[in-house]
A and B are shown apart, each in its own frame.
Chain A
Amino acid sequence: DVKVTQSSRYLVKRTGEKVFLECVQDMDHENMFWYRQDPGLGLRLIYFSYDVKMKEKGDIPEGYSVSREKKERFSLILESASTNQTSMYLCASRGQTGGTGELFFGEGSRLTVL
């Protein structure tokens, strides 16, 4: 059974703290993505990676960075958390070619910044 696992389902952090969100996939996918979901705004792409050590900015990269040191792992980093980063964060992975082109999502990490 294919799996994308996000390390924390729920986190509460204080403004200014550094936050790490970890994501691991077991499907040997080349491509991994970080989205955030907010009411009325849908899913917005933060960053994605199409290979180890490669990264591309999505639509809303400000305030975030990412790390992809191994193929199966893609981390999202909030260097200094702010209240407007309170959100549901979703990691996803995708194979390289053909098929349905679907993204496989993890269960999400709900982050609250106080």
Chain B
Amino acid sequence: DQQVKQNSPSLSVQEGRISILNCDYTNSMFDYFLWYKKYPAEGPTFLISISSIKDKNEDGRFTVFLNKSAKHLSLHIVPSQPGDSAVYFCAASASNFGNEKLTFGTGTRLTIIP
């Protein structure tokens, strides 16, 4: 049973435009959410996180929005750059405490078109 879902396996966006990546979850115990970026043959790197007490968190070009009632989060990248081409994973956890496991989605491959 996939508790964290990324329904779009791929997304193409023109350079300079906004990229919006979506993620849905089913487990109401999830309280903490993260986005990771992964290039081929490398490990995932952390991008941004959000706690359930917030509905928005911003870091430079990256903004994560959380809608708890809909169990939905999204990552906005603006403006999109060629270096943003990668696979993006959302992840969820019951807390940000260290021994809490993260459950990952299936990933969305983002391609930025120059």
Contact = CB atoms under 8 A, between A and B. Distances in A.
A100 B89 contact: no
Interface stretch (B12-20, B41-49, B66-74, B76-84): B41-49
A27 B97 CA distance: 16
A110 B97 CA distance: 29
A108 B45 CA distance: 12
Contact of A101 (B32, B43, B103): B32
B63 interface: no
Interface size range of chain B in the complex: 20 to 34
B96 interface: yes
A29 B98 CA distance: 9
A105 B93 contact: no
Interface in A58-114: 58-59, 90, 92, 94-108, 110
Interface of A: 4, 9, 29-31, 33, 35, 40-45, 48, 50, 56, 58-59, 90, 92, 94-108, 110
Given A100-B96, A107-B43, 9 more contacts: A31-B98, A43-B89, A50-B98, A90-B44, A94-B98, A100-B46, A100-B49, A101-B100, A108-B42
